[in-house]
Amino acid sequence: MDILQEQWWQGAQEDENAVILDVRTEGEWNEGIIPGAMHIDIYKGQGFIYQVDELDKTKNYYIYCRSGGRSGQACSIMQQMGFANTYNLVGGIMEWNGPIVMPE
């Protein structure tokens, strides 16, 4: 489901079952992330599927990429895999007005 950043961030902060997922490339990840994000690169193809398949399907996934395209794809893929709640950040990190930190 596509949601605007205010709702997306509020949901990610207030939802005790939330997981923030960054689906960008390693290079993009290293330029800065939304705090608390985990990283699975959607361009890894089958590797992405394998890693996502190990995630807890009962959690709520707040997903982002650079502009919202790849994260939208990730939401669709994950829904097909049985994830009930996936939320795509409209506009991605390019339009993000919230906090950004460097990955550890």
CA geometry: angle 8, 24, 83, nearest 5 deg = 55
The b-or-e profile of 78-102 (16+ CB within 10 A means b, else e) is beeeebebbbbbbbbbeebeeeeee
| CB-based contact 32:72 (threshold 8 Å) | no
pTM of the model: 0.97
Report the percentage of the chain scoring pLDDT > 90. 99
- Residue corresponding to tokens 């689906």: 23
Q: Which of 19, 65, 74, 93 is catalytic?
A: 65
CATH code linked to domain 2-95: 3.40.250.10
Query: What does the pLDDT look like over 3-49, one tens digit per residue?
Result: 999 999 999 999 999 999 999 999 999 999 999 999 999 999 999 99
Query: What does the pLDDT look like over 62-87, one tens digit per residue?
Result: 999 999 999 999 999 999 999 999 99
Tell me the average pLDDT of the chain. Answer: 97
Indicate if 65 belongs to the active site.
Answer: yes
| CB-based contact 30:103 (threshold 8 Å) | yes
Please report which confidence band the pLDDT of residue 104 belongs to, taking 50, 70 and 90 as the band edges: confident
The structural domains of the chain, with segments of one domain joined by +, span 2-95
